[in-house]
Every structure is written in C-alpha cells, then in structure tokens.
Amino acid sequence: MIEVSALTKFFGEIRALDGVSFAAERGRITGLLGPNGAGKSTCLRILSTVMNADGGRATIDGIDVAADPLAVRRRFGVLPHGAGLYPQLTAVENIRYYGDLHGIGRETLNARIAALVERLDLSAIANRRAKGFSQGERTKVALARALVNEPDYLLLDEPTSGLDVMATRDLRLWLTELKRRGCCILLSSHVMQEIAALTDEIVVIAHGRLAARGTPAALRHEFACDDLEQVFVDAVMRADST
C-alpha cells in the first residue's frame, strides 16, 4: 500500500505540494487527477524517489521512501512523462538495460523479456532501434521496461498523452490485467474521461492541495452530480475558494 500524508514540496517560493494526503491500495487503480501544474508529477516524483519532500511522509508497504530509496525502487515500475528511450538501442536492448540494472539473472531476464514482448505485442519492433518508433511504440516499450522487474507498484505519469485511440485502449486493457494480478497502480492524468474509465479511486489535486478523493460513485454522491467532469470542475473550484 502507498500512503502519502501531508506531503509538502517547495520550488523556491512556489508551493508545489501543500499537505497532500491519500492512499493507494494493492489490486486497485488510483487516479491522480488535476489541472496542469497542480502537483501531480511532483507527487509521483517524490514517490519514485527522484525528488525529496520538504515536509510530510510517503511510505510503500510501511517503508519510508526517503529513508530507503533503493528498497522502494526495487518494488516500483515507473513510466515517467515522456518515457525517454535510447534511440540507438533496440526495443529489447532498452528493456534489457533496465533488467540488468535491477540485477535480474540472465535466464530469468530472457524469459521475462520474451513474455513482455509477447504480451505487449512488440515482436514486430523487438529488434529495431528505437530511433524511428511512433509515440505508441515508445510508450509500449517504456511500459515493458517499467514492468521488467515485475513490480508490485506501477507509477504512470500521463501515460496516454500522445497515444491514439487504439493504443489508449490497449494500455487500458494491460493496466486492468495488471490490477487483477494484485499490482497497485497509481496514474496521473488531466483527462477526466480517462480516469473515469479506468480508476477505482480518484484523488483530485489542485494548486498542490487535495481537492477531493473517493471512488467515482462516492464523488458523484458528494458533489450531487452524475457527470464526473462537472464533479472535477466543482472540486477544483471548491479548492480554489478555500
């Protein structure tokens, strides 16, 4: 379980995160929703131990991310925004590099890569250099790379941005499959429909603060509105006024 409590982060004078608290459980997809610049990426970066919080605490299975970042990284698969691949390496080499960095043995790694290539339908591009990949192909390879250590936790920052309808659909199917296998998935987005279609729990962030949280049904009830988009707008406006 991911637990975030009173997380605070400053960039100079700017308060990027201002006491955000939420939890994300195993076997569920939790969506971080918020307008651009709300603090979603910052929150994910603190969880993935790339950044340190200025205040508050984030734990994974009770391990403080700041105290033992290497232990946290072993449990995590991360798909950051942009998903940079190495253009001179093939798809398989890109995935293998991360497998090697995770210290996975050769035979296990070969088997895992074969399985990922099969499952994410990468065989056509497996041995091609990443230089000319489409955005969809890049995201698929980056996802395979994030899954190479069979993580219990998967963090995705705006995973569907730049993807076409088919690729978005595929991604949704894979995430649902991972969820069924007990993976805890935390993804950020500024697209309400995407969150609504995928997530079990929604965390709305605006201006670095928690605006609302709960299941889609609970949020509809709280804001007395069936339209989730309207719920999102209302939650952000409510956060603005306080």
Which residues in this chain contact another protein in the complex, by CB under 8 A?
A: 45, 48-52, 70-71, 73-74, 76, 78-89, 93, 97-98, 100-103, 129, 142, 145-146
Report the distance separating Cα 108 and Cα 181, nearest Å: 19
Of the pair 87, 182, the CB lying nearest another protein is at: 87
Min separation Cβ 127 and another protein, Å: 14
Sign of CA dihedral 208, 210, 213, 219: negative
Please give the angle made by the CA atoms of 193, 197 and 200, to the nearest 5 degrees: 120
Q: How far is the CB of 220 from another protein (least distance, A)?
A: 35
Q: Using the minimum distance from each CB to another protein, give the nearer residue, 54 or 200.
A: 54
CB 203 within 8 A of CB 39: no
Q: How, if at all, do strands 14-24 and 2-11 pair?
A: antiparallel
100/97 Cα distance (integer angstroms): 5
Query: Which residue number, 96 or 207, has a Cβ lying nearer to another protein?
Result: 96
Task: State the minimum distance, in angstroms, from the CB of residue 239 to another protein.
Answer: 26
Q: In DSSP terms, which residues pair with 155 in a beta bridge?
A: 78, 186
> Is the CB of residue 107 less than 8 Å from the CB of residue 113?
no
Is 30 or 49 the residue whose CB approaches another protein more closely?
Answer: 49
If the CB atoms of residues 32 and 219 are measured against another protein, the closer one turns out to be 32
Taking the C-alpha atoms of residue 51 and residue 78, their distance in angstroms, rounded to an integer, is 14
> CB–CB of 144/122 below 8 Å?
yes
Tokens matching residue 80: 């950051």
CB of 210 to another protein, least distance (A): 23
Give the nearest distance from C-beta 174 to another protein in angstroms.
Answer: 18
Minimum CB distance to another protein, residue 197 (Å): 25
Whichever of 143 and 205 has its CB closer to another protein, that residue is 143
